[in-house]
Amino acid sequence: MKLLNNNNRLIVGLGSALIDILVHEDDEFLEKTGAIKGGMIYVDKDYIEHTLTLTAKESHIVPGGSACNTMIGIGKLGGQARFVGKSGKGNMGHFYETNLKENNVEPALFKSSSPTGRVLSVITPDAQRSMFTYLGAASETQPEEITKDCFNNAAIVHIEGYILFNENLILSALNAAKKAGARISLDLASFTVVEGAKPLLEKIVKESVDILLANEDEALVFTGYSDESKALESLAKNVHIAVLKLGERGSYIAQSDKRIKIAPLGTGVAVDTTGAGDLWASGFLYGLVNGYNIETCGMLGSACGYEVCQVIGANIPQKGWERIRKILEG
């Protein structure tokens, strides 16, 4: 696969501009609040506020959203990144935009009078995160707003799977990305997303996607296979590159006739898996547009995924980024 037709190295992420609210709780709390363990459900803002009153634990607030997390990771690696989404005009929206700039990501944010969206991520002792999502302003992104100009000079347009719930929006984005001459990367995001949008997902993967990323739960729902080899082959059937992420067991990459096993990096116990898949994509996509071989791209993804699991939230500290860059130096 010749990924780049020119010297462009820009990766553009399209997704929901969301503020992450992170709280540690136990499985009993999940049952009490109606969360789907390891999954995501949509709620209104009042539901999130009420759920927060049920915990005495301290919460952490950081900018988030799957594609945003991935773009911030690319920015931290020194890559060229842009994020396209919609936020509110208030303090949370300002906080979100400022954070993007501070992390070397170009903001391309449409503005709304609605509140900036937010996600309550409940982190259980096994490091799983279960999410309640209020989209707010993010849900108001209109198909006609996503034009070729959003993706100018992009080598890759990376789309988070949550956009699948808005069929007209994702179809408009795919069309605009193609007009811009970019390759299209899709992260399946959550097994609940795959369950809810499988017919549309099958159609766009077959017709438009170049790079497909999935974890084992998402792959099981999408392909019907729990066997890793069969799941990978099914994921790879209609795309140029397919990735099957297996958490602490590493990952597999399929590219043309290559099948590559990427060993997990590090031995630390995960503190929080928030952003693990998003940051894996950061390292992998950064490697692709900068001309690294597929094994090195996978190692970068694995390193980013490991480091983010050692902290709360999706923000890898500076020392973690220094360890990741050693892979490139080696």
Question: Model confidence over 283-310: pLDDT tens digits?
Answer: 999 999 999 999 999 999 999 999 998 8
List the one residue out of 133, 125, 132 whose CA is nearest residue 25.
125
* Mean pLDDT within 308-313: 83
In a domain, 129, yes or no: no
* Mean pLDDT within 225-250: 96
In a domain, 171, yes or no: yes
In a domain, 124, yes or no: no
In a domain, 32, yes or no: no
Assess whether pLDDT exceeds 70 at residue 2. Answer: no
Average per-residue pLDDT for the chain: 92
In a domain, 48, yes or no: no
Lowest-confidence region among 1-15, 24-38, 92-106, 185-199: 1-15
**Distance from the Cα of residue 286 to its chain's centroid:** 14
In a domain, 273, yes or no: yes
The string of DSSP letters for 123-185 reads EPTTS-EEEEEEEEGGGG--GGG--GGGGTTEEEEEEEGGGGGSHHHHHHHHHHHHHTT-EEE
**Distance from the Cα of residue 7 to its chain's centroid:** 25
Number of domains in the chain: 1
Assess whether pLDDT exceeds 90 at residue 55. Answer: yes
DSSP 247: G
Question: Model confidence over 168-207: pLDDT tens digits?
Answer: 999 999 999 999 999 999 999 889 899 999 999 999 999 9
pLDDT at site 1: 44
Top pLDDT among 85 and 39 is at: 85
pLDDT at site 63: 84
What is the Cα–Cα distance from 277 to 309, expressed in whole angstroms?
A: 10
Radius of gyration of the chain (CA): 18
What percent of the chain has pLDDT above 70? Answer: 97
E strands present in 35-103 = 40-42, 59-64, 80-88
In a domain, 286, yes or no: yes
pLDDT at site 330: 67
Domain hosting residue 208, numbered range = 10-16+65-114+137-329
The answer to whether 301 touches 211, Cβ cutoff 8 Å, is no
pLDDT at site 5: 52
pLDDT at site 7: 74
Assess whether pLDDT exceeds 50 at residue 64. Answer: yes
CATH number at residue 239: 3.40.1190.20
Lowest-confidence region among 52-66, 149-163, 212-226: 52-66
In a domain, 109, yes or no: yes
- At a CB cut-off of 8 Å and minimum separation 6, what does 281 contact? 70, 73, 158, 185, 187, 213, 301
**In the structure encoding, which two tokens stand for residue 203, read together?**
């159609």
DSSP 122: E
* Mean pLDDT within 8-37: 94
pLDDT at site 3: 55
Query: Predicted confidence band at 313 (pLDDT cuts at 50, 70, 90)?
Result: confident
- At a CB cut-off of 8 Å and minimum separation 6, what does 232 contact? 219, 242, 244, 252, 254, 259
Assess whether pLDDT exceeds 90 at residue 267. Answer: no
Query: Predicted confidence band at 4 (pLDDT cuts at 50, 70, 90)?
Result: low
Q: What is the CB neighbour count within 10 angstroms for residue 32?
A: 13
